[in-house]
Chain A
Amino acid sequence: MNGSFGQGWRDARQALGWLWPTVSTLAALTCIALAALLEARAGGTSTGTRPNELRLLEGATFGLVVPLTSFALTARLDGRLERILAAYWPRHGADRRAYALGRLALCCVMVCAIGILGASLALGASNASAEPVPGVALGLLTGFWALTWVAAQAALSYAACFGLAQLIAGSWGRALFLLGDWFLGSSLGIAALPWPRAHVRALLGGAPVLGMNPLQASLCLLVLTLLGVTLYAQRVPR
């Protein structure tokens, strides 16, 4: 089991190489830095850290970079069922389910790392470009660990959901999930419930889905991740 998981991880790492992760990380950080620059130019120091921070985190980092990185990474690793079935090591007796989870785990870790890096950059950039507004409570986002927790949850749920979408319906599945997340995840009603974007927004202090508190939003993300991983594992024959 562990060997098969490790083999999946190694195969995914080899399929990615070193160039793709480097370029995608640089692209993600550049995107966030550009967004921070535009925010700083547009608002100056008058709007304060908190709104800047929110826009950079909710819009650029968790609204754009994390979903798109997950989307591109899943495409790059090509986790379609036929590819997983035809993988070399499972053919020779490795546990295919553990192998597929190993591949997915690398995807999760990488998106998580990019998410944390991006969020840290966004936080640093917003603090550097604007003065804190007196009287505005900075709350959850001020702690690095809290930010790491949000980034990890967002990255895991996105990677699991994109992995499942790719497994079920290939490129179309991924594309439909991305569109659904963008359009339906931006709403506040019951239609927003199955999309990570809605809960990440709530965790970052944005409008909550169905009036849920941050703990409930966090639980929803956890459920989405577990559901995605479980369905993913169930769908891959051993």
Chain B
Amino acid sequence: VSALELRAVWSPALKNVSALFGPGLHVVVGQDSDGADDLIALCAGVRVPRRGQLLLDGRPPSASPSARRRIASLLPSENPDRRSSVRAWLNEVGQLHGFDAGRSHAELLPDVKLERAVASLSGVELRRLALALALGQPEPLLVALHDPLAAAQGDASDAVLQRILELARQAIVIVTTPSLLDARRLGGGVHVLDRGVLARQAAHAWPGAVTPGLDVWLAVDCDSPRELLAELCKSPDVEQTSYDARRAPRRLQLRGPDLARLAIAVSRAAVAARVEIQLLQVAAEDLDSVRGATAGLANAAYRAVQDARRPGEAGGEGNSGAASGGAGGNSKAAT
């Protein structure tokens, strides 16, 4: 079984990152300033760690051409030979990796003509083409993609998503993205990359996992928002409602502590008020909320450890109470 191992890796942005990634999809949520671009560059073998080791099946990608041939990558900025044509570029890369790159291009990017010069491609087209190349590899060991859903715009994003999930069945797929919405679309386990540190791991990218302790905002579009609002006010699971008749006459915004309970409350209220719901959407948290939640959790853990060290104080219950209270309190404060 293939494995990508990071042993105390340092780079300009990453700080002492250790992790073990097996086959499957791993979504890393973070911005380039957090080290997302460094992580992909290290995985692609175009950079060496300042300290520590990054090993793909025991070999560092930066020092093994055969390992790099089995790595499909999409960097933040792609810089191929700009003097050749798209066809020549695809052929040469395809030859190095041993696959027909023209076919993957046709599947994922049919609107770009093969006769065009690479220099005539825009930055967006270049990234899309590089994404098509990366996803076209038949049997990669590692797929490292920097914000692929942003690179694949429009209709192509569904095909890209499908191909990523397909690849994740056999290979290690690492995707970095600053968007929680994209992380939700991708699914899979989520790693939060915060200021160069893999701060925590969440089972999924929904609010309960990435922003524990923070309230959830739900947007509801319906045909009679006033009637729905009247019913929702009776529910104890709804903490706050917001309705702007001028700007969005069909939209309600609700806040509550738990997404599932909030959604059930909306369903019950809709049945009671006989309202037809057209859209139910969780408001996407931004990275700052995630960072706030991470800081809150870290603070709570720190307090719990401090409390446990203090002599003469109660252990078990008091500590866990402090931990949960700390997490909630701090994360709310951060928000």
Contacts of B41 in A (CB 8 A): 86
A131 — which chain B residues lie within 8 A by C-beta? none
- Give 1 or 0 for each of A87-108: 1 = CB within 8 Å of chain B CB: 0111111111000000000000
CB distance from B205 to the nearest CB of A (A): 29
Contacts of B96 in A (CB 8 A): 89, 92-94
B45 and A91 contact, CB distance less than 8 A:
yes
Q: How far is the CB of B310 from chain A (nearest CB, A)?
A: 49
Nearest neighbor of A87 in chain B, beta-carbon distance:
B46
Say which size band chain B's interface belongs to.
Answer: 20 to 34
Residues of the A chain whose Cβ atoms lie less than 8 Å from the Cβ of B44? 91
Q: Is A22 an interface residue (CB 8 A)?
A: no
| Secondary structure call for the A interface | helix
Q: In the assembled complex, how far is the CB of residue B108 from the closest CB belonging to chain A, in whole angstroms?
A: 18
Task: Please give, as numbers and ranges, the residues of chain A lying within 8 Å of B80 by CB-CB distance.
Answer: 88
Number of cross-chain contacts by CB at 8 Å: 48
Q: Is B128 an interface residue (CB 8 A)?
A: no
Q: Which of B20-28, B65-73, B170-178, B313-321 contacts A (4 or more CB under 8 A)?
A: B65-73
- A85-B62, A92-B93, A93-B68 are known contacts. Are A14 and B81 too (CB-CB below 8 A)? yes
Q: Is the CB of B48 within 8 A of A86?
A: no
Instruction: Tell me which of A4, A92, A95, A96 has the highest count of chain B C-beta atoms within 10 A of its own C-beta.
Output: A92
Q: Which residue of B lies closest to A92 (CB)?
A: B96
Query: Which one, A88, A91, A96, contacts B81 given CB within 8 A?
Result: A88
Q: In the complex, A237 Cα to B64 Cα: how many Å?
A: 8
| Cross-chain contact B63 with A91 (CB below 8 angstroms) | no
A101–B281 Cα distance when bound, in Å, is 56
Interface check B33, CB cutoff 8 A: no
Taking CB atoms, residues of chain B closer than 8 Å to A96 are 65
Across-interface contacts of A238 in B (CB, < 8 A):
63-65
Instruction: List residues of B (57-111) whose CB comes within 8 Å of A's CBs.
Output: 60, 62-66, 68-69, 73, 79-81, 83, 92-93, 96-97
Is B226 in the interface zone, CB < 8 Å from A? no
* A90: contacting residue among B60, B65, B97, CB under 8 A: B65
CB distance from A17 to the nearest CB of B (A): 10
CA distance in complex: A237, B54 (Å): 14
A1 nearest CB neighbor, chain B only: B65
- Chain A CB within 8 A of B47 CB: yes
How many Å lie between the Cα of A12 and that of B79 in the bound state?
15
Checking B45, B65, B81, B93 against A95 with a beta-carbon cut-off of 8 angstroms, the contacting residue is B65
Q: Which residues of B pack against A, CB within 8 Å?
A: 41, 44-48, 60, 62-66, 68-69, 73, 79-81, 83, 92-93, 96-97
A-B pairs, 5 with minimum CB distance: A93-B69, A237-B63, A92-B96, A93-B96, A86-B46
